[in-house]
Each structure stands twice: as C-alpha cells, then as structure tokens.
Amino acid sequence: MTALRSIAVAVDGSKSADRALESATALAKLASATLTIVGVAPAPVLYSDEGGVLLEVLASNRKAVEALLRTSAESARKAGVAMVSTEVREGIVVEELLQFLEERNPDLLVMGARGLSTTGRLLVGSVSDGVLHHAHCSVLVVRPLPAPAPAPKRSRGASSPAK
C-alpha cells in the first residue's frame, strides 16, 4: 500500500459530512498528510434570471460554503493537522467533485453518505454513488452512525418487589 500524502474531504454541513471530516482529519494527522477540504456551492436550476435572482442565490450559496470551509479548516488545525487548505467550487456537486479529483489528484477522498433509501437515490441522486463510480482515486465513504436501539419496555403486568 502506498503512503497517504494528500487527503481530500468533501463537506456540505450535514452530519455525515461532519463524520467524514473527523475521519479525514484523523487519517491526515496519523499519516502526516495534507488535508484539502472541498465544498461545492450547488448551482440552482432556474428557468429565468429576472432581477438578478440567480446571481444572488449563487453568491449566497458560495458565502455559506466559504463559512463552512473556514470552520472545518479551523477544526482540522485544532485537531493537529499541520497542512490544511480549502477549495470552493460552484456547480453540479458530483461533476465539480470529479473535476477537483482530476485536477488535484489526492491519494484519498473521504466523504459522507446520507444513507438515502432506494427511492431517495432515484429522486435526488446520490453524490457518493456518483463519485464512487467515476473517481480515479480511492474513496472512503463514511456511513451514518446507526440509530441507538430503543430501551426495553417494561411490561405493565410486572409486579414490583414486596416491601
């Protein structure tokens, strides 16, 4: 196995992306690798640009991603990763992530998975599926934590100890 010199992590503000950032940070620290945190401001699909609405939405999306990346980079640095950079992209998320991978060629991309149902993947698509099928580098998909098991219910008929 080759050494990990550069690790990228895709973030979007979701809980699964937060877990991916934690995993990528731990790996980068362990391997003394560079960490690039990438976020994509999704381009909205609009049919008209009346009054500059499209430009306002794009600017708003970009600012939100930039703020997320600043916070994520601070977190990685506090955790002990020495070399952290960020990159903001705009457009279709899967396409932008794949373009980033081709341009930057990291050894590993870490990303979260929301755990969509089959129907959900058909309706909105899956970023992790799209990247996995076309990436030219290794991809680690961090799954959501399973929901905690419910506490056992006490039956109503159970008698309490005699006093």
Contact 41, 64 (CB under 8 A): yes
Q: What pLDDT is recorded for position 123?
A: 36
Which residue segment(s) compose the domain that 68 sits in? Answer: 6-45+52-142
Q: What is the CATH number of the domain that holds 79?
A: 3.40.50.620
Asked if residue 147 is part of any domain, the answer here is no
Q: Would you place residue 126 in the very low, low, confident or very high pLDDT band (cuts 50, 70, 90)?
A: confident
Mean pLDDT of 12-33: 94
Q: Would you place residue 95 in the very low, low, confident or very high pLDDT band (cuts 50, 70, 90)?
A: very high
Is the pTM here over 0.85, yes or no?
no
Asked if residue 119 is part of any domain, the answer here is yes
What is the 8-class DSSP label of residue 10?
E
List, in order, residues 6 or more apart from 115 with CB less than 8 Å away: 16, 143, 144
Most confident listed range (51-65, 84-98, 128-142): 84-98
Q: Is the pLDDT of residue 8 over 90?
A: yes
Asked if residue 162 is part of any domain, the answer here is no
Asked if residue 123 is part of any domain, the answer here is yes
Asked if residue 157 is part of any domain, the answer here is no
Nearest to 43 by CA among 65, 73, 13, 21: 65
